[in-house]
Amino acid sequence: MLQYDFEESIGYWITMTSHSYQDALNQELIPYGITFRQFQVIGWLVYAGPLSQVELAERMMIEPPTLVRILDRMERDQWIRRESDPADRRRKVLQVLPEAKPIWSKMVSCLKRLRKKATKGMTPEQVETLKSLLMQVQQNLGVKVPEFETV
């Protein structure tokens, strides 16, 4: 078997950190009855505005049939609405409903607590450097890094 120095691999550290962050966020959300995937749905729709089911599945990096089950529950709970696109009746467009606002507020509180926990012991300059370096990695991998607005 070929040897590989995992501890020197930037991919290893990014992947492990991402998994740890997602797990920690899931633990923050559980007391509110919110799953990580539900958070992703509302988060992407708040950030990007209405999206088709296919676009959302791509952003969440899951298969569309997996997303459908998540959306069914969220629609039942009146957090989102699926509507047919007037230009293409086969295309379903998703929107966040006003009833999801209290849920979104809880999610934002969880995100802020987790951000504080994850950056404990870092100076503001170190946090900015970390964000800058991660954006550079994404750009180097051919990912278009979005410009973020505060929501």
- pLDDT for 49 equals 92
Here the tokens at position 17 are 């950190």
Instruction: Give rounded-to-5 percent helix, strand, coil for the chain.
Output: 65, 10, 25
The whole-number pLDDT of residue 8 equals: 84
- Residue 147: predicted pLDDT: 67
Task: Please name every residue paired with 82 in a beta bridge, in sequence order, or none if there are none.
Answer: 94
Q: What is the domain partition of the chain in residue ranges? A: 17-140
For domain 17-140, the CATH class is mainly alpha
Torsion of CA 29, 148, 88, 90, to 10 degrees: -20
What pLDDT score does 63 carry? 93
pLDDT the model gives residue 151: 45
Residue 36's pLDDT is 93
pLDDT one digit per residue (tens) for the chain, 151 residues: 778 888 888 999 999 999 999 999 999 999 999 999 999 999 999 999 999 999 999 999 999 999 999 999 999 999 999 998 888 888 889 999 999 999 999 999 999 999 999 999 999 999 999 999 999 999 999 887 666 555 4
